[in-house]
Structure 1
């Protein structure tokens, strides 16, 4: 039997002192969710956090009495002031609504022959109101108080009554829940019924329901080992549903090392996550090889051999996040010892690390092919990663979009965030940085709310890249610093490298080639946890450009040689185009022209519109130096128009500078591409902040929604006021109302 956790004392009067450190952005987002929008509750929760909780190192409490005891005491007083028959009806309504909304209140009232007129007293007191669909509580804290102020016997009676009126196959999980909640003590039969109902809920895409059922089953289990396994399964369900705090608290009550590793992958140290997950693979492989012949089963069923593909997928992700791709060999060796065909991108990454580019291409193409609709979300995410490595951004976008849809249909909030993490790469290079930035901001809020701080770090780095392209230097540096601080503390080489690359792109847009070369040279030297081979590869064209501009052609040729070998192997149009551009940069005089033309021809078959525009800019500059004025002017105007439409002012300024050096005016954009009105002077981020401010949001509210500091929002608004020539928010509202 697993002994239920004893609730903490409900009448505490001395909250712990406020932590010295302010909560991180991720912790603040989870506080807002736990507070259900109540500002007083949020303030009380924040004041009670330990230093480790404020830093996101320990999970937040999940019990209302641990979150905001003072607020809950006040709500209990309101409920206790009501007549007994009113409180009985409120108890029944509360039991019907939380944690599983079963919508059986009115049926239960009718079955028990109860009179609903006592609810008038609750409405008069402003506690709750009755309607045709049942009872509506003033806030969730009142609902909790209505349940907790009842005696244990009355609570059990309420659950048993609700269980009696729930019938039919569709209501079986909810009936099982109330039967379990009405139990006097451990019961193997009820635990089995709840576990079976949870399995059906999982298949139906309801992990939150599955978590509640499985956790209740664990509390009723008569076998300690079975109870521990149920707790581990409940922790996994909690994480899938987006409640990482509850998942971590449940996992702490088990001995499930692999589960701890999976949770650490999204919230802790990614290197430690790999070790824990791989240890789980070893353990399960050993158990399976003792008990039976190798067999490829579907993940998540619970049998040792069927867990291995799922754990290998997580090990692959840990290797990707850390940047220690050599460790893919370890995971691959474990898979082969168990006779398992490794899933996803694992064998392709291992081949790439070994320099077997042809094998890597074939294996990654096979993985990228698993991007059809309705597939397993994890396989779809891996298909997207494989497509990104192959330079196939169209397929990457398709796979990650379908992964998010499939995960959302299954209620898997954690996988939704992961799919959106990798979608941003495809969106960014296709010339839609503003749309990609909006999508990344939404994903960032999801990551923080669901407790996936490592995912949030990756998205912060991606947003730094968007800011670099759109010319917002302050925002780029702030986001890059935020991402790197978290990444280096958690062994996350992928976001650390992406943030470094973003800073290099910012320098590239302002022509600071020495800084670009220094940043990317350092990136090439960073080891696992600090850098990433894939990001180093993606940044090679920028490195070659900077190295050539600073006279370091020997290093540039070496970097290009490996990039060209990969491009020729995978036959990606974009990679081949960028390789041709690098060759043009490395070729002196008029001989470079043919390489530039070849690059633009290849770009026509690719999707990286931002890179195509940059190739036109470099080509136009080369033509200007060769005194081919007419073609140079055409190329530079094309680059100027593209960068302006992308919202990339720094790169547009480089094109204008080339046109001025050519002695040609920067021609106006076509009417369809030119933004109109005063808003045209604002950056994408400034316009977003301005619109929120015009809608009445405070600086702090805007900061929370955009995952920035209030100081940064204040900086953006000062910039908005300066560019628009205004002094107040009232004028801002007027200007935004007058222009489309």
Structure 2
């Protein structure tokens, strides 16, 4: 037993979305034009897997695949022989040896291309012999001259060294690191989902997006370690693992380069920068060689680029590794005494003007606790430094501090900086270390405040709530402002969990966590802002919006000139509670700018979350999507899964406007995954609402009603207390369209109470629309008109267009066609303005049924552009549509396809929704016109293939 985990090879179908997009674009170009490209990246980035995926994805013709073998690749002409043989041109091998090898290879490729499109993949082309590389480079550079489309040549070379001159001028595709989400998915695929979520996060962070390193780390661990039942080894990526992944890049290094490489690796490791000052590094490398008794270069000046080893690159007075992973490997494999010597040399080289960096290098050269050095490091960790560097300095000070109480204090300070830098797992590790040392109640209170804040961003929010309440109790009296912060954060955790009782308890002004006898009722400064926010939140939760306005307005006033991102986020939250969307957008944007100015990686995604929700409330869905996409990247980068869940929910809501069903489903699934594991009721309710709104946009009101009914009706499954009412207008519409208006009357009464609070600028118009949907004909007309008048007072094309669409439908069914055409046309324009494409299709279908042609055609028949939308149907939907066009009944279609009539009915409803048609006659006309104009896709396969796809 080795104790290591056996991994299942990741399927080639599992390719990161960013890489799949690059591959698709590359293959699309090669299908229409001849060309060559070079795929590169650091060791372990997945070059071979990328080429294999390209080979399997290329369906236009045959694929020729050649991979260099390290043992024989350097033999003269070996690479050329292998390629010509694989291409089916063995007779030209002898001619290549005795002639112009480049022209011979080009001629062979021309011959292969005569038979149709072909893709040639050469993996590890840098390992070929010189003559073969020259021939390959010549052929790649002149590939366009073959005069045939569809001849593609893909090469892979490593990115930790300069490209060979033969390939230097070719288009380069550099494979970047995987995102945390992509890396987590790869790890789950390889291990069958056997990795504990906390362990998975640590592995993903340690691998830094490198797929080979990620899999090597997982292979190193035992099943018990992967499952979280045993502690992980430290360091996770040791010299053995790093050498296995990137050791090839160290082959062939000159002895005189070892100290320079190690010096650069040490400088980058301490500074957390991608590069280092070349002069300081060169002086330190020379000093390290002198400490070891070895002769140095004796110049003391910066080397020119030609003097650097291939693994390094120099530009603008800075030097860096071409591959960051190679730098990590160089540092890991060095002997400890050599690493300490290099750090001492760097400390001397940097002592002139880089105080904290010099101290850090001195700390890495120390072999025992050093109280004096620890005190210097703690004093140097000032506000002027980035959070990451402050965290590093305080963490090293902690390790060099022997005293228990002082060590715990510095550990807490380091954890706070780690949190602000977005290094949440490191913050938790430091808090665990601090817990092992005795500390007074105030220090324990600060630790629980930090832990609760971390868990609020990435963990079960019930645990965060408990930790924050404990922090508030421990800090009351001694640090009232921190106690107030903890109590309000505990309310935030309960809010996220959807626990109104716990939220009110945390906000209770008589609770010991909120106030002592010495705490004034109306304090000043930051304490006053927190006090007012608590008063306002408590009033909102009790339904007393009249009492909430004054304290929440004071919160906005107190933040008018603030530059603290956390205060500005409180301001944004207060504005959203008030329904002041403009103030919420302004405060969120300022919080984002302030977080970026301070370099607070953990606050950026939170600011973008508030900004995205504010834009959604304002009806600016495209902007909301832009902010949520940026916030999602930041949340993944900093490990804030709870924040990421909210961004997924915001993206699902934005996508539901466009009714992009697949995109909505992906974001809803991602949001619910974290919501279920961490108790995020608010994010879950928003995601479910987004899914239902996409159903409505896709013409599936019954599905929307089934999804929304439990969410908005009273009962144990009702959604989050602050969110469910936002979904009421969608539920009322779905219930009315499915002939179940009585199911919605009770929730409309509840929604009326919400609308009366003026916390949502759209609510009053939505309420009138809901009443119109449920009203008898004699009163519905006036209600629709009043709703449209109310929309004039608010921004947002989408909600107004929905009211126009429903009113237009109502008018058309009462044969008031002229009026219907006006409102349906306004709905179509409104949906087009806000990018709601599926909703626009509904409006267009209603216009056609009304006798108008939204495309400009006077006949009202489907236009060729509309007919081309048949290509959006799945193969099964297309088969059913063609059967309908031929006049078959649902039962006849079911018998033909060996499925149930219910399945046919389900697919047919989706076809109607996707194409925006309302009847079988209209669908038949659309299919006939598509086939007549050539806009229809080819007929899908039938028989066994048909049954397999069912």
Check whether TM > 0.5: yes
Q: Which residue of structure 2 aligns with residue 136 of structure 1? A: 320
Write out per-residue CA displacement over residues 557-579 of structure 1, whole angstroms, 9 at most, x where no aligned residue: 43233333333333654222222
Match of 2:212 among 13, 31, 40: 40
Match of 2:387 among 207, 212, 215: 207
Task: Indicate how the Cα distance of structure 1 residues 539 and 59 shifts in structure 2: closer, same or farther if over 3 A, else same.
Answer: farther
| Shift, 1:261, TM fit | 2.2
Match of 1:96 among 241, 259, 267: 267
Q: Matches of residues 135-214 of structure 1 in structure 2 within 5 Å?
A: 135-166=319-350, 171-201=354-384, 204=385, 206-214=386-394
Is 2:786 aligned against 1:594?
no
Aligned-partner Cα distance in 2 for 1:167–1:527: 68
Aligned-partner Cα distance in 2 for 1:250–1:139: 29
Q: Which residue of structure 2 aligns with residue 689 of structure 1? A: none
SS in 1 for 2:602: helix
Q: Which residue of structure 2 aligns with residue 237 of structure 1? A: 417
Is 2:503 aligned against 1:328?
yes
Is 2:279 aligned against 1:106?
yes
Is 2:193 aligned against 1:21?
yes
Count, aligned residues: 655
Is 2:685 aligned against 1:485?
no
Q: Which residue of structure 2 aligns with residue 697 of structure 1? A: none
Q: Which residue of structure 2 aligns with residue 401 of structure 1? A: 589
Write out per-residue CA displacement over residues 626-676 of structure 1, whole angstroms, 9 at most, x where no aligned residue: 55433322111010122133332332233234334433333549xxxxxx9
SS in 2 for 1:606: coil
| Shift, 1:615, TM fit | 1.5
Task: Indicate how the Cα distance of structure 1 residues 62 and 547 shifts in structure 2: closer, same or farther if over 3 A, else same.
Answer: farther
Q: Which residue of structure 1 aligns with residue 398 of structure 2? A: 218
Task: Indicate how the Cα distance of structure 1 residues 365 and 574 shifts in structure 2: closer, same or farther if over 3 A, else same.
Answer: farther
Q: Which residue of structure 2 aligns with residue 583 of structure 1? A: 771
| Shift, 1:398, TM fit | 2.1
SS in 1 for 2:320: strand
Please say if residues 545 and 757 of structure 2, whose CA atoms lie closer than 8 Å, have aligned partners that are also in contact: yes
| Shift, 1:266, TM fit | 1.9
Q: Which residue of structure 1 aligns with residue 41 of structure 2? A: none
SS in 1 for 2:538: helix
| Shift, 1:215, TM fit | 0.5
Task: Indicate how the Cα distance of structure 1 residues 325 and 57 shifts in structure 2: closer, same or farther if over 3 A, else same.
Answer: farther
Task: Indicate how the Cα distance of structure 1 residues 475 and 28 shifts in structure 2: closer, same or farther if over 3 A, else same.
Answer: farther
Is 2:568 aligned against 1:390?
no
Aligned-partner Cα distance in 2 for 1:662–1:108: 77
Aligned-partner Cα distance in 2 for 1:238–1:270: 20
Q: Which residue of structure 1 aligns with residue 240 of structure 2? A: 69
SS in 1 for 2:270: coil
Q: Matches of residues 222-371 of structure 1 in structure 2 within 5 Å?
A: 222-255=402-435, 256-285=447-476, 289=477, 304-333=479-508, 334=511, 335-338=513-516, 339=519, 341=528, 342=530, 345-369=533-557
Write out per-residue CA displacement over residues 469-515 of structure 1, whole angstroms, 9 at most, x where no aligned residue: 22222332343233223312211101111121112212322444444
| Shift, 1:97, TM fit | 1.9
Is 2:698 aligned against 1:522?
no
SS in 1 for 2:802: helix
Q: Which residue of structure 1 aligns with residue 805 of structure 2? A: 617
SS in 1 for 2:579: coil
Q: Which residue of structure 1 aligns with residue 847 of structure 2? A: 659
Greater CA deviation, 178-187 or 493-502?
A: 178-187
Is 2:834 aligned against 1:650?
no
| Shift, 1:369, TM fit | 4.9
Quick one: higher RCO (CA 8 Å, sep 6+), 1 or 2? 1
Aligned-partner Cα distance in 1 for 2:324–2:392: 18
Q: Matches of residues 436-455 of structure 1 in structure 2 within 5 Å?
A: 436-455=624-643
Aligned-partner Cα distance in 2 for 1:22–1:123: 48
Q: Which residue of structure 2 aligns with residue 468 of structure 1? A: 656
Write out per-residue CA displacement over residues 597-635 of structure 1, whole angstroms, 9 at most, x where no aligned residue: 332233223233211111221222333345543332211
Greater CA deviation, 612-621 or 215-224?
A: 612-621
Write out per-residue CA displacement over residues 214-246 of structure 1, whole angstroms, 9 at most, x where no aligned residue: 100100112112212322332332232222332
Of structures 1 and 2, the larger Rg is shown by 2
Q: Which residue of structure 1 aligns with residue 720 of structure 2? A: 532
Task: Indicate how the Cα distance of structure 1 residues 159 and 60 shifts in structure 2: closer, same or farther if over 3 A, else same.
Answer: same
Aligned-partner Cα distance in 1 for 2:832–2:232: 45
Please say if residues 573 and 602 of structure 1, whose CA atoms lie closer than 8 Å, have aligned partners that are also in contact: no
Aligned-partner Cα distance in 2 for 1:95–1:172: 16
Task: Indicate how the Cα distance of structure 1 residues 331 and 431 shifts in structure 2: closer, same or farther if over 3 A, else same.
Answer: closer
Aligned-partner Cα distance in 2 for 1:132–1:278: 52
Write out per-residue CA displacement over residues 165-194 of structure 1, whole angstroms, 9 at most, x where no aligned residue: 4357x7333233233333342233322222
Question: Where is the helix percentage greater, Structure 1 or Structure 2?
Answer: 1
Aligned-partner Cα distance in 2 for 1:360–1:488: 31
SS in 1 for 2:630: helix
Greater CA deviation, 372-381 or 76-85?
A: 76-85
SS in 2 for 1:531: coil
| Shift, 1:36, TM fit | 4.7
Task: Indicate how the Cα distance of structure 1 residues 132 and 459 shifts in structure 2: closer, same or farther if over 3 A, else same.
Answer: closer
| Shift, 1:87, TM fit | 2.6
Q: Which residue of structure 1 aligns with residue 733 of structure 2? A: 545
SS in 2 for 1:532: coil
Task: Indicate how the Cα distance of structure 1 residues 577 and 368 shifts in structure 2: closer, same or farther if over 3 A, else same.
Answer: farther
Aligned-partner Cα distance in 2 for 1:176–1:683: 65
Q: Which residue of structure 2 aligns with residue 709 of structure 1? A: none
User: Which stretches in structure 1 are left out of the alignment for 5+ residues?
Assistant: 1-11, 292-303, 670-675, 687-718, 728-740
User: Which stretches in structure 2 are left out of the alignment for 5+ residues?
Assistant: 8-190, 291-295, 436-446, 520-526, 858-863, 875-913, 915-930, 939-950
SS in 2 for 1:21: coil
Task: Indicate how the Cα distance of structure 1 residues 249 and 347 shifts in structure 2: closer, same or farther if over 3 A, else same.
Answer: same
Task: Indicate how the Cα distance of structure 1 residues 725 and 659 shifts in structure 2: closer, same or farther if over 3 A, else same.
Answer: closer
Please say if residues 659 and 836 of structure 2, whose CA atoms lie closer than 8 Å, have aligned partners that are also in contact: yes
Aligned-partner Cα distance in 2 for 1:64–1:128: 25
Aligned-partner Cα distance in 1 for 2:225–2:828: 49
Task: Indicate how the Cα distance of structure 1 residues 266 and 48 shifts in structure 2: closer, same or farther if over 3 A, else same.
Answer: farther
Greater CA deviation, 495-504 or 481-490?
A: 481-490
| Shift, 1:78, TM fit | 6.8
Task: Indicate how the Cα distance of structure 1 residues 33 and 571 shifts in structure 2: closer, same or farther if over 3 A, else same.
Answer: closer
Aligned-partner Cα distance in 2 for 1:178–1:147: 14
Is 2:297 aligned against 1:115?
yes
Please say if residues 452 and 463 of structure 2, whose CA atoms lie closer than 8 Å, have aligned partners that are also in contact: yes
Task: Indicate how the Cα distance of structure 1 residues 369 and 557 shifts in structure 2: closer, same or farther if over 3 A, else same.
Answer: farther
Q: Which residue of structure 2 aligns with residue 495 of structure 1? A: 683
Q: Which residue of structure 2 aligns with residue 672 of structure 1? A: none
SS in 1 for 2:193: coil
